[in-house]
Every structure is written in C-alpha cells, then in structure tokens.
C-alpha cells in the first residue's frame, strides 16, 4: 500500500493496522479512518489494536500491562468520546524517570497525570468489582503518560482511537510506590505544573469515581477480548486531567499528595 493512501478495496482491519504502525514509525499524522469508514466502531478498533499488539510482540517488544483511556470527564469532554476503553502497554513505551519527552519518535506529544497500579494477583473478568480489583493491586504509584495520536489535531472517533492503541506514546512511573491500603485514592490529588505555573488539578475521584473502578472496568472489558490482567502488569488508570502540550524547551511536573512528583522536560 502506498503511504497514506486509501487501498483500492477500502479500509479493513489489516490495512488500518498497517497504516497506523507506519504512521507511528514515520512520525506521520493523518485524518481519522472514520471519515472514510464510518462503520469502524470500538470493537473493530480493538481488533486492529490486538493485531498491532501482535506485530509489536513479533518485533521484540514485551507486553507489560494495559492503559485505560478516557476514564475522566475532563478527558472525555476534551476528546469528544464519552466512554472509557482499554489499550496495551509494551516495554518500548517505558520512559525512565528523568528522561525527556522522546520528541524524535513522537508526532505531537502531550502529557497527563495518572494513578498507576502494579498488579500483585491475576484479575479476570467479567463481573470484577472495584473492591476485588483493589485487592489484586500490589502497589500504587503516581505517574504520567506522554500521549501521542496518529491523527491530525487529535481528531478521532471511538473506533479510530481504540485502533490507535488509545494514543499510546510513552509513560513514566513516579518515584513513590505505596500499598493501596495506605491511601484514600479518591482523595489523592495531583497538581499539574507547566513551566513553573499550576495549570490544572484533580483528585483520584476524577477517574470513574475511584481508580479501582477503572481497574475493574479494564478487567471486565479485557474479558470480552479473552484476556485477564496478569500479576506484575502495570495499569495506567487514565488521565486525571486534560493533557498538556510538551514542546521542546518546556518543563512539566505532576505533584501528587502522597505519591511524589514526576518531572518531565520537553527535551
Ligand atoms: O488522545 C487521547 O486523549 C486518547 C487517549 C486517552 C488517554 C487517557 O485518557 O488517559
Ligand atoms: Mg492516559
């Protein structure tokens, strides 16, 4: 298929998957597929996401966990997609603490604060509750996700963004990990600072009322796709606030009440 062109026969799961990975590899943005293929819905997007996970694994990446997208009202309103969904994390997306935004591999990175879980036990849906989900968590961390969309101006519908692995780019896990019983996660706050100015804030309650609800949602959603959440996996529970731009020269900090601060500079 020629770069960025519509295949003769129209888009399908294989051609969209290939085009999205090519956009990622070439740092190329494009218009959403739903402009041309309106039937591309969430589940078709998941099939594309799963196909590209297999391609990532085939090229040597390791599956390290999952991320939720659009679990907070702030994110849903900004992106115009009004329900949460799940995507994959591989080791290629890990940004070591202190490293700058990987500008040379991303198209238009933005950063958002996240409550992050490291799993102790396996969690398999359907029917998982937030309490059951929290009982399977080994530790809770403050973190940040560097999202990057393959769609111009982050314009997409649910099928586009689920196919695009929920705008995955990179993620940082912060310096402080605590047992979940040490925290009231609904009350855990974050202040988002850009170039020394506080621009946004939220508490864990912004994430589905409690990040444990988001974790349960991930387990139940993955069950529909034949997967469980495995011990040792990292789970990003979704941006607590809207994401902030992170151009070269910028500095972003996420200050959590009990989970420390995450600093990322724009490179
Ligand atoms: O581009 C986006 O904002 C979609 C991914 C959402 C990630 C999140 O809500 O954490
Ligand atoms: Mg996120």
Contacts of 232 (CB under 8 A, 6+ apart): 118, 119
Q: Which of 77, 155, 239 to mutate to test the pocket of ligand 1 (most atoms within 8 A of CB)?
A: 239
pLDDT of residue 2: 40
Binding site membership of 241 for ligand 1 (Cβ less than 6 Å): no
User: How much is the average pLDDT of 185-189?
Assistant: 98
Q: Which superfamily does CATH assign the domain made up of 13-265 to?
A: Fumarylacetoacetase-like, C-terminal domain (3.90.850.10)
**235 near 117, Cβ under 8 Å?**
yes
pLDDT score, position 9: 65
Is the CB of residue 113 below 6 angstroms from any atom belonging to ligand 1?
Answer: no
The per-residue pLDDT for 220 is 98
For ligand 1, mutation pick of 66, 70, 149, 235 (most atoms within 8 Å of CB): 70
What mean pLDDT, rounded, does the chain reach?
Answer: 96
**Residue 4 pLDDT level (bands cut at 50, 70, 90):** very low
- Provide the pLDDT confidence category of residue 7 given band limits of 50, 70 and 90: low
Distance 9 CA to ligand 2 centre (A): 34
The CB density around residue 6, as the number of other CB atoms within 10 Å, is 14
d(CA 69, CA 85): 5
Beta-bridge mates of residue 198 = 193
Q: How confident is the model at residue 96 (pLDDT cuts 50, 70, 90)?
A: very high
- Report how far residue 56's alpha carbon sits from residue 90's, in angstroms, rounded to the nearest whole number: 8
Choose which residue among 74, 117, 243, 244 to substitute to test ligand 1 binding: the one with the highest number of ligand atoms within 8 A of its C-beta: 243
Percent of all residues in the chain with a pLDDT value above 70, rounded to a whole number: 97
Q: In angstroms, rounded to a whole number, what is the distance separating the alpha carbons of residues 137 and 178?
A: 10
Q: Is the CB of 238 under 6 A from ligand 1?
A: yes
135, burial (CB in 10 Å: exposed 0-12, middle 13-18, buried 19+): middle
**What is the arithmetic mean of pLDDT over 64-82?**
95
Give me the mean pLDDT over the 73-81 stretch.
Answer: 93
pLDDT of res. 202: 98
Is the C-beta atom of 147 inside 6 A of ligand 1?
Answer: yes
In this structure, the strands spanning 251-256 and 261-265 are: antiparallel
Question: Average pLDDT of 58-87?
Answer: 96
Residue nearest to ligand 1 atom 6, measured at CA:
69
* CB contact at 8 A, 194 and 170: no
Alpha helices in the chain (DSSP H): 13-26, 42-58, 73-79, 130-135, 158-163, 211-224
With b for 16 or more beta-carbon neighbours within 10 A and e for fewer, the 223-241 pattern comes to beeebebeeebbbbbbbbb
Q: For residue range 247-265, what is the model confidence (pLDDT) as tens digits? A: 999 999 999 999 999 999 9
Eight-class DSSP state of 99: P
Is ligand 1 within 6 A of the CB of residue 244?
Answer: no
Asked whether 154 lines ligand 1 (CB < 6 A), one says yes
Q: Where are the domains of the chain?
A: 13-265
β-bridge partners, 94: 171
| pLDDT band, very low/low/confident/very high, at 6 (cuts 50, 70, 90) | low
Query: Ligand 1 atom closest to Cα of 166?
Result: 5
Asked whether the predicted pLDDT for residue 3 surpasses 60, the reply is: no
Structure tokens at 225: 């796709």
Q: Which atom of ligand 1 is nearest to the CA of 67?
A: 10
pLDDT at residue 161, rounded to an integer: 97
> What local confidence, expressed as pLDDT, does residue 174 receive?
97
Tokens of 235: 């789970």
Q: Which of 9-18, 90-99, 167-176 has the lowest mean pLDDT?
A: 9-18
Which residue CA neighbors atom 8 of ligand 1 most closely?
Answer: 69
Chain centre to alpha carbon of residue 235: 9
111-157 pLDDT per residue, tens: 999 999 999 999 999 999 999 999 999 999 999 999 999 999 999 99
- Give the model confidence (pLDDT) of 228-244 as tens digits: 999 999 999 999 999 99
Cα of 18 from ligand 1 centre, angstroms: 21
Which residue in 239, 208, 202 sits closest to 221, CA to CA? 208
Query: The whole model's pTM is what?
Result: 0.96
Confidence of residue 1 (pLDDT cuts 50, 70, 90): very low
Are residues 220 and 169 in contact, defined by beta-carbon separation less than 8 angstroms? no
């Amino acid at each position: 298929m020629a770069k960025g062109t519509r295949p003769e026969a129209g888009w399908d799961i294989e051609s969209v998957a290939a085009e999205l990975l090519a956009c990622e590899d070439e740092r190329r943005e494009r218009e959403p597929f739903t402009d041309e293929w309106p039937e591309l819905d969430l589940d078709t997007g998941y099939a594309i996401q799963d196909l590209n996970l297999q391609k990532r694994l085939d090229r040597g990446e390791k599956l390290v966990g999952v991320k939720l997208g659009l679990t907070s009202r702030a994110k849903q309103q900004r992106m115009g997609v009004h329900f949460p969904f799940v995507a994959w994390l591989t080791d290629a997306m890990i940004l070591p603490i202190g490293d700058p935004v990987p500008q040379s591999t991303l198209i238009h990175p933005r950063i958002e604060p996240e409550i992050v879980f490291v799993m102790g036990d396996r969690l398999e849906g359907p029917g998982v509750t937030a309490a059951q989900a929290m009982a399977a968590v080994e530790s809770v961390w403050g973190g940040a996700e560097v999202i990057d969309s393959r769609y111009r101006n982050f314009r997409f519908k649910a099928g586009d963004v689920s196919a695009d692995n929920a705008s995955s780019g990179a993620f940082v896990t912060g310096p402080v990990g605590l047992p979940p019983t040490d925290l009231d996660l609904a009350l855990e706050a974050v202040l988002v600072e850009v170039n020394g100015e506080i621009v946004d804030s939220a508490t864990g309650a912004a994430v589905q009322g409690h990040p444990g609800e988001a974790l349960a949602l991930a387990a139940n959603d993955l069950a529909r796709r034949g997967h469980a959440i495995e011990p040792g996996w990292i789970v990003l529970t979704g941006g607590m606030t809207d994401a902030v731009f992170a151009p070269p020269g910028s500095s972003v900090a996420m200050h959590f009440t009990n989970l420390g601060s995450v600093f990322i500079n724009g490179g």
